[in-house]
Amino acid sequence: MPMSPRDYTWLFTPGSTFAFESGITGVIHVAGGGELDLPTGRVVASDPFVYLGSGDIEPFTVSVPPGRYRVEAAVATIVRPDEPPADKPHLRVAAARLVIRDEPTVSWELALRPDQDLAELKDDEFFGYGVDAGTGCFYDAAAEEAFPEVQEDEGPLWDAFEDSGWSVGPHLVTSPSTGHNLVTFISGWGDGFYPTWIGRSASGEVTCFLTDFFVAPDPS
């Protein structure tokens, strides 16, 4: 069986805490990322510094009605027992979600791209996107070519991180030439491979797209 989803309601509940056997602890707060424009309703999640504008990442097979939708991140404040209190808190994005409907999520499914088949997955495997620049994002398929400067290590996407001192985000970034936007954030502990889940309501409607960066363990 493919990897099962976790308790993401807990992960997006402010004040949720977790701990590792090493003594490292974390507490969650939810950070807003503004509203993402989805003019086509076709959602893409990827590492923008690697894939945005490359044409290598297709939208998910599940689309939503065009509109503007809230993005938020579950951000963990990390405390290590062997380190003195720091002037600047150690923050990590545990997960990020694109909220489509403010209704309870009762089921989860892996977000798939057109060339992906759940039947190909072995036990605890999952589809997701690779991160090689330490970041993730959500954007509409129409914005694929909206940030060409990113390939030259410049432009508004770079500015969003550099101007904030490379804070974890989320950051709402708008293309000055096209008006398209995206929401980007630091990807958990950094580079890796991460799944995006689709939440559904009791009536089967899409409630959110959620990328898990595997920062927080399951609650005990």
In tens, the pLDDT along 89-105 reads: 999 999 999 999 999 99
- Nearest-angstrom CA–CA distance, 16 and 12: 8
Predicted pLDDT of residue 149:
84
Q: pLDDT below 50 — which residues of the chain?
A: none
Q: Which residues of 132-141 are buried (b: 16+ CB within 10 A; e: fewer)?
A: eebbbbbbbb
Cα dihedral sign, 9-12-14-19 = positive
pLDDT value, residue 173: 97
Full-model pTM: 0.95
